[in-house]
Amino acid sequence: MHKIDVETMTPDRVAAGQRDRFAALMSAIIPANALYAGKFQTFVQKSATDLLSSDFLLWPLTTRTELEKDQLDHPPYGTKLTFPVSAYTRLHQTSGSSGVPLRCLDRAEDWNWWKTLWATIYRAAGVSESDIFFSHFHSGHSSAFGPLSKAPPPSAISASRPAA
């Protein structure tokens, strides 16, 4: 998972990569994802460069309340799906402590992307595959457990390192 070329890019290359990835994301989402197609319809006519300019700060934010309402109005997952339900391999659900459980689906590709991001973060922090670490099991993408290729099984998770 170590991608030295990506992790050492110049700021200009980072910005270009962000524009490319964002344009690809918008191409996948619009028009397939009804929730975001509706929210972003006034912005999607612009180029990827324009999307990441100062106008990007004007895009509407998505709130938890909005996602909960969408799932209540269109059970069980709402209208924010970009792909057919059969394409998804993971389901994350909140406890519903705010009143309504919120469900989030991921594809295998999505999960691998998150694992790559967390592997980069852990590597920068000096964590290696031989380390044991603790992570609470939060819902969805907030879960940082398991991004290293040989992460410990849940039964081995500890808040501290074993004695040397």
Q: List per-block mean pLDDT (blocks of 10 residues) for the chain, which spans 164 residues.
A: 74 85 83 88 64 67 91 95 93 85 91 83 84 64 42 38 39
37 in a domain, yes or no?
Answer: yes
**Alpha-carbon gap, residue 58 to 72, rounded angstroms:** 27
Residue 118 has what pLDDT? 82
Q: What SS3 class is residue 160?
A: coil
64 in a domain, yes or no?
Answer: no
1 in a domain, yes or no?
Answer: yes
Angle at CA 161, nearest 5°, toward 133 and 163?
Answer: 160
Residue 76 has what pLDDT? 94
159 in a domain, yes or no?
Answer: no
Residue 55 has what pLDDT? 66
Residue 92 has what pLDDT? 87
Helix residue ranges per DSSP H, the chain = 4-7, 11-29, 34-40, 48-51, 64-73, 108-124
16 in a domain, yes or no?
Answer: yes
Neighbour-count burial of 147, counting CB atoms closer than 10 A to its CB (0-12 exposed, 13-18 middle, 19+ buried):
buried
126 in a domain, yes or no?
Answer: no
- Count of the separate structural domains present in the chain: 1
pTM exceeds 0.85: no
41 in a domain, yes or no?
Answer: yes
86 in a domain, yes or no?
Answer: no
Provide the domain limits for residue 6. 1-59
Residue 151 has what pLDDT? 42
